[in-house]
Amino acid sequence: MDVYKITGENRLQGTIKVSGAKNSAVALIPASILANSPVTIGGIPEISDAWTLKALLEEIGGEVSFENGKMTIDPTEMIALPLPNGNVKKLRASYYLMGAMLGRFKKAVIGLPGGCFLGPRPIDQHIKGFEALGAKITNEHGAIYLRADELIGAKIYLDVASVGATINIMLAAVLAKGRTVIENAAKEPEIIDVATLLTNMGANIKGAGTSVIRIEGVEELHGTEHTIIPDRIEASTFLIMAAAVGDGITIDNVIPLHLEAIIAKLREMGVKIEIGEESIYVPKTDLSTLQAVDVKTLVYPGFPTDIQQPLAVLMSQAFGSSKVTDTIYTARFKHIDELRRMNADARVEGNTAIIKGPSRLHGSTVTATDLRAGAALVLAGLLAEGETEIQDIYHIERGYSSLIEKLRDLGADIRRETIVARVAETKE
């Protein structure tokens, strides 16, 4: 298996560039199905989820090229082939194929989505939206069957402000007849990014980024060119890293507005942050002055659930007792056990993690249980004394593009190694 080996306690310095947003890419790529001519999307991160989606679009007849972060998709020959398993199981966001294929073909068969296990992540709000538009949905043999004679605009109130459901309903509604109104819509920047692409393709969408989105259905959508927004979660991860092990790091290709919640929390801890137009500079942080903070994750524009795990590493260096309450995903604390292996003083009580600091972290063998837990362990490895080995790195590579190269350019001692799995010796 492949692992990351990190020798810690190196100070990092220089400029690190943020890739395009993973959570945008996984929706923009399926959105191209709705066009009647080629769509080009620039700035796509070279992550496994993007390659998986490329393969899925090719399975249904799309012609797709992907190089240097630019994906060109020709959807003209696509057909509504069932996608019951295989690649669909590899990523959570394969559910966007439901909305896109339903919108274009009025039918789809999609296997239940995969991805990181973070506790219950139901797609009931997606299904509620599709049914409101006139689709019949059944679950047969572990796949979702969607069928509609035609899609007709409707008023849809989301019980929870789900990003996935908001985008999926938008995808299904842009070619429906009449007007669709999504109330209690999620407001994440990725939703605005998808709406921008669809609008450039000829869709009529108003209110993306607010809690009410109005869509007037159109007859057809055409190809376009679009550049993806920077990844705010990757940018936030690098901000935390700069505070923990940086001797002056510039994070380039960011939209500071998208990072307000994390910047405010880091400043509260005592981290100095200088904001430019499209970059952020973090001077060397004196860890001896770092203060404990309490964090509660919320939907955007609140503190993102994806960042509480990397932040836990910085909390382990702060003076006092920090608390993280995750209101989004209850199972998002598996990194705490791994950090404890590295000598962090942390425990979980219900949906809250309590982290006491400062603790001197020690290198250890740890496992990335999901994408953002993996990012937290990379930060912990950079900070810890000795060598850290991180297993199950495929989770990390689902969301961070060229991570090793980016960190080595700053002076990190990190490498990827293939090791032969150790077989436990049995003693009589």
Residues belonging to the binding site for UDP-N-acetyl-alpha-D-glucosamine are 92, 121-125, 306, 328
Given 35, 116, 292, 384, the catalytic residue: 116
CB atoms within 10 A of CB 79: 9
Of 91, 123, 119, the C-alpha closest to 27 is 91
Helix (H) or strand (E) holding 268: helix 260-269
Does 367 qualify as catalytic in the annotation? Answer: no
Residue numbers in the known binding site for phosphoenolpyruvate are 22-23
Is 322:341 a contact under the CB 8 Å cutoff? no
- CB-based contacts of 423, cutoff 8 Å, min separation 6: none
Of 41, 45, 44, the C-alpha closest to 31 is 41
Judged by DSSP in three states, 352 sits in strand
Of 233, 399, 57, the C-alpha closest to 66 is 57
Residue numbers in the known binding site are 22-23, 92, 121-125, 306, 328
Is 315:344 a contact under the CB 8 Å cutoff? no
Token reading at 275? 């904001």
DSSP 291-302: B--EEEE-STTS
Dist CA 324 CA 74 (whole Å): 45
Q: Which amino acid is at 88?
A: V
Token reading at 315? 């909390």
Q: CA 321 from chain center: how many Å?
A: 28
Dist CA 321 CA 285 (whole Å): 19
φ/ψ (deg, to 5) at 19: -80, 175
Q: What angle do CA 178, 194, 332 make, to 5 degrees?
A: 120
Q: Which residues of 27-44 are buried (b: 16+ CB within 10 A; e: fewer)?
A: bbbbbbbbbeebbbbebb
- Partners of residue 357 on adjacent β-strands: 320
Q: At what angle do helices 189-200 and 22-31 cross, to 10 degrees?
A: 30
φ/ψ (deg, to 5) at 226: -150, 145
- Residues marked active site are found at 116
